[in-house]
Amino acid sequence: MIDLYTWGTPNGRKVSILLEELGLAYQVFPVNIGAGEQFSETFRALTPNGKIPVIVDRRSAEPMTLFESGAILLYLAEQAGQFLPTSGAARYEVMQWLMFQMGGVGPMLGQVHHFLRSASQPVPYAINRYTSEAHRLYSVMNQVLENKHYFAEAYSIADMAIFPWVSRHEWQQIELADFPAVADWFDRVGARPAVQRGMLIP
């Protein structure tokens, strides 16, 4: 059994999507970040960073605790031998797009969410900076997906990592119709039953 500590955010949902795709048994422990539960002593004992998601893999005699969503995706995919090629260029193609999400899509779109939805007062410079970067990132994704069904050779953890962020395109003031290849990819990935289930967690 795998324990999943999570909340309904893109970073949380990328892990629940993979768990659903792999068909692994897991139990969900919601961590309400709006109520500050990520700062509790119990949760901080699992991750010094105080961020969701966290997994505790109890399938062996020595449980494995892991935080950081990208690391969790790599660990689970490698353990299962699915959604991440084992070697060669194909493996690194998946990893580069996972890093694209971790270093670009997640942080930049997260800033868009903050300054458009959570900031106590409008900050025009920040709004312009991050919404412009959001459009640039969508343009990059659209260019790549014009000739491919997925970000790598096949459906992978890279797609699972990016999908929950694109699902909030309206929060980012992005019209998916302006990026038709991304829209087609979004529909393709979103039609997968495991993705639909994972997006409902917790």
Residue 26 has phi, psi (to 5 degrees) of -150, 155
Instruction: Please name which of 17, 26, 52, 23 lies closest in space to residue 159, comparing C-alpha atoms.
Output: 17
Class (C level, CATH) for 88-192: mainly alpha
> pTM for the complete prediction?
0.97
Please list the pLDDT of the chain residue by residue as tens digits (202 residues): 999 999 999 999 999 999 999 999 999 999 999 999 999 999 999 999 999 999 999 999 999 999 999 999 999 999 999 999 999 999 999 999 999 999 999 999 999 999 999 999 999 999 999 999 999 999 999 999 999 999 999 999 999 999 999 999 999 999 999 999 999 999 999 999 999 999 999 9
| Architecture category of domain 2-83 in CATH | 3-Layer(aba) Sandwich (3.40)
Beta strands in 45-116 (DSSP E): 54-57, 64-67
Q: Where are the domains of the chain?
A: 2-83, 88-192
Rounded to an integer, what distance in angstroms lies between the CA atom of residue 107 and that of residue 104?
Answer: 6
Query: Which residues, 6 or more positions from 152, have their beta carbon under 8 angstroms from its beta carbon?
Result: 90, 93, 94, 97, 158, 159
Rounded to an integer, what distance in angstroms lies between the CA atom of residue 66 and that of residue 159?
Answer: 21
